[in-house]
Amino acid sequence: MRISIARLALGLLLLVAGCDRGRPVAAPPSPAPHPDRLTQVNVINALMLGGYDGVMSLGELLRHGDLGLGTLDGLDGELIVLDGRAYQARGDGAVVAVPPNRTTPFATVIPFRPDGEVPLAGLAGLAGLAALDARLDAAIGRANHFVALRADVALAVVTVRSVPRQDRPYRPLAQVAQAQRTWTHRDVRGTLVGTRGPSWSAGLNVPGYHWHFLSDDRRVGGHVLDLRLTAGRVRYDVAERWEVRFPGAPGFDALDLARDQRADLHRVESGRAGEAPPAAPPPR
């Protein structure tokens, strides 16, 4: 009996050792994120100036929240985080799942726990995104807070854009966005993932509403330029806390982040980057 117990113990030991061989060391369990903390990677003015190198892996980003938006390393398209999964609307319009080892130079996520809901019945048929934003402002208030939004909608029309992946040396976003591609889709169902930054966050995040879209069939997505609603509902989460992850790369400290880039940002976000003042003509 004693021998068989010893053999059993030895067998278990070998089994455990065998199982461990070749396996990556498991990361210690990370603490659950604070339920009302908005986590932001980088500041928007750094992205505007061409800070496109990844700062945080998608694997880590998803530990900070299950809903959000942003872009990928190299400004490689539009990022949509929905129900804890990350999707990329590429510069060619294709939508693909993002592996956890990809990184993001700019993103905003939250563990989405709705504080309220805005019925869309009265919003259906409203012309344009600006009307939706104005209605949400009136319903939500809380002007000096960051708000995360999720709108599950049927859309009569949605126009989305994406941007092509960039190579070094990176050009400012206002220039890159002039090469954006846009697509207009009709009669599509999906989810609008949004953030609303307070006006005081200019230079840090996007003041006002910033919407990305992902269709229910996961085939259509991107940064929303305009839409017309048919039906749906908007849920929102007012963030109590706000945390920023700064880039560790030395280039970050060389950027002039105090420069007022609000006009350029507005053109980039609203899809009117092509209306930016023309760049200096090339030397002859």
Q: How far is the CB of 71 from Zn ion (least distance, A)?
A: 7
Cβ proximity to Zn ion, 12 vs 179, nearer residue: 179
Cβ proximity to Zn ion, 102 vs 223, nearer residue: 223
Q: How far is the CB of 237 from Zn ion (least distance, A)?
A: 19
Closest CA to 205 of 9, 75, 6, 42: 42
Residue 274 phi, psi (nearest 5): -65, -15
Cβ proximity to Zn ion, 7 vs 262, nearer residue: 262
Cβ proximity to Zn ion, 196 vs 223, nearer residue: 223
Give the interface with Zn ion as residue ranges (CB under 5 A): 223
Q: Rounded to whole angstroms, what are the CA distances from 193 to 3, 67, 90, 129, 160?
A: 63, 7, 17, 13, 13
Q: How far is the CB of 72 from Zn ion (least distance, A)?
A: 12
Q: How far is the CB of 246 from Zn ion (least distance, A)?
A: 20
Q: How far is the CB of 271 from Zn ion (least distance, A)?
A: 10
Q: How far is the CB of 137 from Zn ion (least distance, A)?
A: 19
Token readout for 37 is 């903390």
Cβ proximity to Zn ion, 75 vs 118, nearer residue: 75
Residue 220 phi, psi (nearest 5): -130, 135
Q: For residue 87, how many other CB atoms are within 10 A of its CB?
A: 19
Characterize 52-85 residue by residue with b for buried, 16 or more Cβ atoms within 10 angstroms of its Cβ, and e for exposed.
bbbbbbbebbbbbbbbbbbbbbbbbbbbbbbeee
Query: Tokens 């694997």 appear where?
Result: 59
DSSP state of 79: E
Contact 263, 164 (CB under 8 A): no
Q: How far is the CB of 19 from Zn ion (least distance, A)?
A: 44
Cβ proximity to Zn ion, 118 vs 160, nearer residue: 160
Contact 85, 95 (CB under 8 A): no
Cβ proximity to Zn ion, 111 vs 222, nearer residue: 222
Q: Residues in the chain, how many?
A: 284
Characterize 210-239 residue by residue with b for buried, 16 or more Cβ atoms within 10 angstroms of its Cβ, and e for exposed.
bbbbbbeeeebbbbbbbbbbbebebbbbbb
Name the residue whose CB lies closest to Zn ion.
223
